[in-house]
Structure formats: C-alpha cells, structure tokens
Structure 1
Amino acid sequence: MKKLLAVIAVAVSLAICFSSCVTGGEDVKEFDFKGQPSYEDDCEMLISGYWAPRPIDKLWAEAKEAGFTHMYLEGKYGKHGTQGYLDALDLAEKYGIRIIAQRYSADQGFEADPTDYSKYTVFDGFNMWDEPEKGEFAILENDVETFNRLYGDTDKVFYSNLFPHYATSEQLGYNSFAEYVEEYCRRVIKKVKNKKVISCDSYPLKRDWDREMNILLAGHLSSVNTIAQAAKRYGAEPYFFIQSMSYGDRRAPELADFCLQANTCFAFGIRGIQHFTYMTPNDAPGGEFDYDGDGNLQTALLDRNNEKTVRWEYAKELNRQIAAFDHVYLKFAWDGVMTTEGTDTKYHTNDFGALAGVLQRHSRVKSFTSTEDALLGCFTDAKGYQGFMLTPYVETTHNRTTTAKIRFDKADKALVYTRGQQSVETLTDGELSLQIAAGDGAFIIPYAEG
C-alpha cells in the first residue's frame, strides 16, 4: 500500500460480453430450488481498518460504533510489547475488535515479538508483510514453517497483503501480476496449515486533473479477479482493500464510492473488506498523503487531530449494510462472474475484456441485460440454492441509475438484498427487473415458490 507512489495506466482491450467459454451452475442443475431459503445469523465478515486509532478509549469506541470487526495493529504507538502498544491491545479487547498484529520487524519475524498475545481473546493472527516482492517470498516461506509449528492447530491468520496489478515488474519480481500472485500462493499460501487468506489492494477512484473529470482506474477489476481466482484454486479466503481517502491522483470517496468498491468486490466473492485507511497517515509536507491535485488536505476516516470526517460516516453506513447481510452472503461459495455491456452506457469500461475465467453462461441465467456495464457474480450454497451479486460498474459521479434484467430458470420469486435490506420480489416469466442507484448492488437468490 505505502510503497506504490506512482500509478501505471493499464491499457486493455474493449470488453466483449461473456468473453470466455467457462460455464457455471452445472453441478446443481437437477436441484428444484423450491421454497424460500433462510440463513442463520451466525457469522460475520471481516471489516478491517489499516492505520488503527491511537490508544485512546474514545477512538476505539468510535471504531466499534462504525462497525469495524478488525484492526491491523502496526506498532505506531511504540514498539511491540511497550505500554502504548499494550494499551491499544487492551482497548481492542474492551471493545471486542479483533487484532491482526504486524510482524515484529523485517529482520525478525513474529516469533521475536515480546508481546504475550495469549492474554487477548481478540488476537487473530499476524500481518506478515505488506506488498512482498519475489525476493521476500523466501522469508515468508520460512515464516510459514514457524507459524505452522506455533499456530497451525489454531484459527489464527497468516496474512500478507499483495501488490496490485499496476505494480511494475521490477517491484513484483515477475513479468506479470498473475504470475506474481500464483507464485505467492504456490510458495507461501499453499503451505499454511490452518486458515488461508489472500489479500490485495487496488484503489480505483481517480481524478483526471487535466480533463477535470473522475474516472475508474483501468485494470482495477483484474486485481480483484486475479485474487478471487487464486483464492478459489488454493482454498483461501480472499480479502480486498477499498479506498477510503484521497491521495495523489485518487479522489476523496463519497458514500456511493465506498459502496461501489465493496459491491464490486462481492461480485468476485471477496470475503473481507478492508479500509485504507482508518486514521489519516501523518505525512511530511509534500508527501503522498499531504495535499491532492486541487490543493485539498487529504484525510481518511479520522483526520490528523483524531476527529471524525464525513468519510467516517460513509464507512459506518457501508459497514452497516455489510453486517446486515453478510451472514447470507458468507453461506455461499463463489463460482465465477459474468459481465454484460450496458446498452445505454456513455463510457464503457475496458476492464471486462481483460478478465480471465469469466463465465460465458450459467445454467440458471437465461438472459442478463443492463443499461450500464454490469457484473453478475455467481454463487452456490451448501443446499444447492444459487445466489447472484449484481453490480453496475460505472463511475458514480455520472449519477446514472441502472436498469438490469435477469431471466432465471426454475424461479418465480427472488430474495433480494440491497443496502442491507431484504425484499421478496415476484418474477414475471422468470424475469427480475431492478433499478439500481449509482454505487449500489443487489444480492439475489432466485427460487420457485413451494
């Protein structure tokens, strides 16, 4: 995250709807999908913040109020094991916010950390490395062996966050982003005994200062898709960072932007949403997190005086929406994603054509159309019911409402979750028609009335 100071524009070919030959839903095609499914509220999604709040009671109470389940503890308040660090752990324990602790140092791994994490029920694992390159994979391979010995029979997390697709080959140590992710999974994640996690960051909300317009970062979907596909191959949980502040040529997100990023992730089966950042990084004048191209001081959810910004409210609302339906979403396994070009789109995304493994068709989907470019994530639960995450992928400041129509096989009803609210929709000849505001998405479970 902090290493990338420059953004490389990625040129990709024009999207073609359903551009690959992969299909989905075939293994449950005999299921009758009868009756409205129900899901017990017995699990929650990881919703985390990078740059955790300072060890002040009020600040951790606010993080809890905003719906954060996790924080990454980076040791900014003193070295591991010192009083400031322990105070942050105590506050996390008090408010039930789970902690993923940063490795002790680049030279010394987590085993050298003097902190006794066994005292804390909220301790959830270690953040081993931020954006490792090829030469650092060997260190992580050694870390896995130690981690398996000490924590292999627990539910603690061995976590690293990978470079995004726009990192250079010099940064990655590989010729392509896909090769970089695959090698990390093969050399590191595959060897983790317990819970496997793959994480990445890519921040799509760009400001084109010369043209005075907002755009979505080219190739952003490739980052999300590559992580999702790798997680599926290696039996890992995919996490992804969303942009919660402005920096450089990245503009300050509005509420619709928070929602667009998360709903895009959900179309790819992402199972953990991470905010970059929670507290505003303290940066020297002229630094990456100082002023943007319009001369505005850049702030995250908390400003440099630890006061809540409007983006704290936006994050709280997004987190509320997630918490209201995550127990449903997490019951489903991701099968893949479909795409369709918008019939009325003014600015088509070029990202769709570059996505590997896109589903060409699905046994339950007879047709899928949208007035704006849209994603349709495809899922299956343990009983055989299928879910679909519909996300229009369009720059939110265009303020365009999307009309999407999906005709399902074996369905006359659908459970629909939008903004965390559940509704039951009646289908006409199997067709569901939805109006979706900018940034929003809908998780859909079609079924036949019993």
Structure 2
Amino acid sequence: MTDDARLGTTMSRRWLFRAAGVGAAALAAPAVASATPRPAVTPAATPLQLGNVCSSTPLFTDTRFPIGAFWPPPPSASTAANYADMAGAGFTFFVTGNYQLDPQSIDYALGFADQNNLKALVATDPSVKAVGEMFTIDDSHSGPLTISTADARALVQQATARYARHTSFAGFSLYDEPDLLGSRNASLGKATQIVHEMAPSAMAYTNLSYALEVDYAKTLSNFVSQVAPPLISFDYYPLRRDGEATNFFQCWAQVRQAGLASGLPTWTYIQTLSSGLLKEPTAADLAWQVNVSLAYGCKGIQYFTYWTPDPGRGEGFGPALIDLNGTKTVRYGYAQTLNNTWLAPVGKELLPLVSESVVHANESTQTPGTTPFSPDGYLTSVSGTVVVGRFRSPNSAVKDRWVFVANRSNTAAANVTLNTNTSTVHGIGKFDPSKGSYTAQSGSQITVSLPAGGAALYQLSAS
C-alpha cells in the first residue's frame, strides 16, 4: 500500500499519534478520548473575528499575533528556563500536554507561563477531558458514558476555579480532532456553550483534522452551526517525503470559505518534525507553511510540535524544536527567527484585515482547488509563480487594499513583478517588519525577489 493510501489522503495528528490511517470506518466510529491534546489561538478584536467568544478572552485581547506551541515541556522539564525559551522563540501561547495529566502539573506550568507573558489553553485537566472527550452531555442519558448538563457545568466550574488565578489562563481545549462525520458535534456544542457561560473570558477550543473521505465543506458547515466555536482550527501537514500533498490548498480554500461565511477566524498547524511519512522541515519549509497560510487569511499559527514526542509512544517522530533531552535543535533557531522577525510583525499587521481574495499565479499545472490569477481592479498582471492574497479593511469605506505575495516554492527563489491598475491604485508601500511600518515605493510596479518559502506585504493606496 502506498503512503497516500495509508494516509487516506489525511495527515492528522490523530493518525500520527496512533500510527493508523483515517479511513471511512474510523471517521464514522464514535469519538474516543484523544491520545494527545492540542493548542488553539485567536485573532484581534474586531467584530468579524470575535465570533462566539467574549471580547475579554485573553487570546483576543492580546494584541500579538497568536503563535502557539503544541506539546510543551513535560512535567519533568517544567522549569523557568524552558518556558523562557518558549517565549524567547516568539510563542505567545501553548496547549497543555506531554504528560501534564493532573491539575498539579498543569498549575505548575501555568505559573511559569505567567512569568513569561505566555497564554495557556488547558486540554489535559481531568474535568476538561470528561466534558469534552470522555463523556457525552445528554440529560436524557440515552446512550453510554453520558453526563447531565448540570454535571458538565460543575466540572467546568471546578476546572475554571483551579486555574483562573493565573494571568496565563486563556481557556480550554475541549477536543482535538473529533470525528469528521460530526457524532460529537451536539455534545461539543453544549460543552462550548457551558464554558462560555460559566467562564465568559475563557475560550472553548476544538481543532479539526482533514480527510477527502468526507464532504469537507459540509463538515465545516455542520461544525460551525452545531458547535458554535470561537474559531475554525485545523491540522493538515503537506510536507511529505514523496512531495507536497496535492490537496493541501484545496483544504485551505474550503477552510477559508467557511471562515468567511461564518465570520470566524481560521487557524492552522505547521509541521516541525519528520516521521515515517513526513519530511524533516528546513527553514524554508517552515516559512513556506506560514506564508501560504497567511496568504489564505490565517489568523493564528500553531506549531506541531514544540517538544519532541517520546519515542516510547511508537510514532517514530524525529526531533522537533526541542529534542528529548531538552536541547534546542536547529529548527528552534529557524522558528525563533521566523516568529520574531517576520510572523509576529506581519501577522499583527494582517490580523485585523479581511481576506478578500487568494489566487495562484503562473503555475505550470494549476493546483487542485485553487483559483488562477486574472486581472482585476488592483493588479493587471503578475510574473513569478506565487500565491497572492488580497485583504481589505474591516471598514468597507476604506478603499486601500493590502497584497500579500508568497513564493509558491519552498525550494527555489522567485523573481516577482506585479503591475498595479493605475486607474485605481495611486501609491504603493512595502511593509518593513523591522519597523512595523510601510516604505513608499516609486512607480506603479512592484518588483521583489522572494527566497524559497518567502513572502512580502504591500499596501495599495486606492481611490
């Protein structure tokens, strides 16, 4: 059987952590407790992005672009220095996990998060797992392993009371990768509502996987309507040993559309390590995953994983940003540079903007699920093989537009020229991440050389 067949065209954490394919039978099966927890983050404070979460939620009121770490230091390595390293690499939050399975170890980790201006989503507290994963909330008790709404409220209240004193506490990760046919949606919807009622400033987060075996657009629509989540988060890892996953951009296009239709921010995960099927990412690979996601309107980037998973789990992962001994790998340096010098400043700039269009220009073979470039009121032509995302202000009266240009390749540089429509555009500014401001460009043409995986952001002054 080929790698793609074993994957079932799915590259999800549940598959990876269980070393088993996600086939139709598995998708249809009742959801069970996930083998691992996972992170989540959220965008800036505009009505479009707040979704179903109170505006006091820390991951919304934080003006930084959400950069999350999945699989933090284990309890044996929960030290001030290790959490300072996480913050130093540009991470703004993490999801509890990596054997932080009891309230004491979670509380201890949140103490270090407090000291380092990190936010935390609690996924592994026993009360949280009971409400989100292990039991179904059903007052009729018509099925096995059910709890009442009153019991669920009491459990959420208990969990909130344990961690509310921490400035880092940002909410709960209720479930990582529920089955895509939606058997958990009704219960997750109740759990989400209970969290937002019992702890109005806490986020109730759920992350989805991806699979071609289901109608993914319908899956997303049902999830949004039945769960009422604060955002749409998904994981799908495109960097295979045998090349790029052909349906990666199709997945992103469907997530983007679901986010725009519901007014919810969209988040994703990027891969930091190798496995039997995944390649070990280069610096350009990390940048490429980040930048094409930003072009598609992503409002939160999460890293899978931060700490390297224990080989005793049996998944065969290579080293992540931090190896099993707690030593920084070369990818820690890649992420530190990427996060601090590019993602944090450009992400903050994009955070309040609304994705208006995303096109792929000059591909020799059009990537499935994508839209090819065609001239419009802002750009008349594009040379170079790039992904171009256009953004607008949330204030529809603003005529200016922002153009994010991402290299389509993670292995080769791209020389790019974009000609603007002079009847609409009367000025161009290039974003300087070191200054957090725009530098005026002369003429009506944008020319830029993008390194492998690289990107650039421009503001078009328009009338």
1:219 and 2:219 correspond: no
Contact 1:332 1:379 in 2 (8 A): yes
**Aligned twin of 2:173:** 127
1:223, 1:420 → 2: CA distance?
32
**Aligned twin of 1:249:** 277
- 5 Å matches for 1:119-268? 119-133=165-179, 134-151=182-199, 154-164=200-210, 167=211, 169=213, 175-189=214-228, 196-208=230-242, 215-268=243-296
| More relative contact order, 1 or 2 (CA 8 Å, 6+ apart) | 1
**Aligned twin of 1:377:** 389
Contact 2:429 2:460 in 1 (8 A): yes
1:281, 1:90 → 2: CA distance?
23
**Aligned twin of 1:444:** 458
TM-aligned CA deviation for residue 417 of structure 1: 2.8
1:2 and 2:13 correspond: yes
Task: Give the TM-score of the pair, scaled to structure 1.
Answer: 0.77
Which one of 271, 278, 286 corresponds to residue 299 of structure 2? 271
Contact 1:368 1:407 in 2 (8 A): yes
Task: Give the TM-score of the pair, scaled to structure 2.
Answer: 0.75
Contact 1:418 1:442 in 2 (8 A): no
Which one of 307, 310, 313 corresponds to residue 282 of structure 1? 310
**Aligned twin of 2:48:** none
1:283, 1:137 → 2: CA distance?
33
1:341, 1:93 → 2: CA distance?
47
1:115, 1:283 → 2: CA distance?
35
Task: Quote the sequence identity (%).
Answer: 22
1:117 and 2:163 correspond: yes
The alpha-carbon distance between structure 1 residues 155 and 149, as it changes in their structure 2 partners (threshold 3 A), is closer
Deviations 1:303-331 (A, max 9, x none): 01111101111111111111223332123
Contact 1:141 1:187 in 2 (8 A): yes
1:121, 1:240 → 2: CA distance?
25
What is the count of residue pairs matched by the alignment? 376
The alpha-carbon distance between structure 1 residues 203 and 402, as it changes in their structure 2 partners (threshold 3 A), is farther
Which one of 337, 346, 358 corresponds to residue 325 of structure 1? 346
Contact 1:408 1:446 in 2 (8 A): no
The 3-state SS of whatever aligns with 1:48 is strand
Letter in 1 for 2:73: P
The alpha-carbon distance between structure 1 residues 145 and 325, as it changes in their structure 2 partners (threshold 3 A), is closer
- 5 Å matches for 1:31-70? 43-54=63-74, 55-70=78-93
The 3-state SS of whatever aligns with 1:119 is coil
Contact 2:13 2:209 in 1 (8 A): no
Deviations 1:108-143 (A, max 9, x none): 566163752210111111111111112111220221
Letter in 1 for 2:381: F
Letter in 2 for 1:246: S
The alpha-carbon distance between structure 1 residues 219 and 242, as it changes in their structure 2 partners (threshold 3 A), is same
Letter in 2 for 1:270: C
**Aligned twin of 1:26:** none
The 3-state SS of whatever aligns with 2:277 is coil
Which one of 408, 412, 419 corresponds to residue 406 of structure 1? 419
Contact 1:418 1:441 in 2 (8 A): no
Letter in 1 for 2:306: Y
Contact 1:244 1:300 in 2 (8 A): yes
1:49, 1:392 → 2: CA distance?
25
**Aligned twin of 1:19:** none
**Aligned twin of 1:434:** 448
1:243, 1:411 → 2: CA distance?
38
Deviations 1:56-94 (A, max 9, x none): 111101001101001001272331x22x22111111111
**Aligned twin of 2:367:** 350
Which one of 321, 325, 331 corresponds to residue 305 of structure 1? 325
Contact 1:401 1:435 in 2 (8 A): yes
The alpha-carbon distance between structure 1 residues 254 and 234, as it changes in their structure 2 partners (threshold 3 A), is same
**Which segments of 5 or more consecutive residues in structure 2 lack a partner in the other structure?**
1-11, 24-61, 136-151
1:107 and 2:134 correspond: yes
The alpha-carbon distance between structure 1 residues 148 and 264, as it changes in their structure 2 partners (threshold 3 A), is same
TM-aligned CA deviation for residue 436 of structure 1: 1.2
2:366, 2:118 → 1: CA distance?
38
Deviations 1:400-426 (A, max 9, x none): 333232323433432223666655253
Contact 1:158 1:197 in 2 (8 A): no
Deviations 1:328-382 (A, max 9, x none): 212311112122224xx5xx4533xx23xx487575324232222x211111113
Bigger CA drift: 360-369 or 88-97?
360-369
1:436, 1:8 → 2: CA distance?
36
What CA RMSD, in Å, does the superposition of the two structures yield over aligned residues?
2.6
The alpha-carbon distance between structure 1 residues 69 and 283, as it changes in their structure 2 partners (threshold 3 A), is same
1:8, 1:375 → 2: CA distance?
30
Letter in 1 for 2:461: Y
**Which segments of 5 or more consecutive residues in structure 1 lack a partner in the other structure?**
10-41, 170-174, 209-214, 291-297
2:459, 2:79 → 1: CA distance?
43
1:440, 1:361 → 2: CA distance?
22
Which one of 398, 418, 424 corresponds to residue 439 of structure 2? 424
Name the structure with the higher helix share: 2
1:159, 1:114 → 2: CA distance?
15
**Aligned twin of 1:386:** 401
Contact 1:418 1:440 in 2 (8 A): no
2:197, 2:204 → 1: CA distance?
12
TM-aligned CA deviation for residue 7 of structure 1: 7.2
**Aligned twin of 1:337:** 358
The alpha-carbon distance between structure 1 residues 155 and 85, as it changes in their structure 2 partners (threshold 3 A), is closer
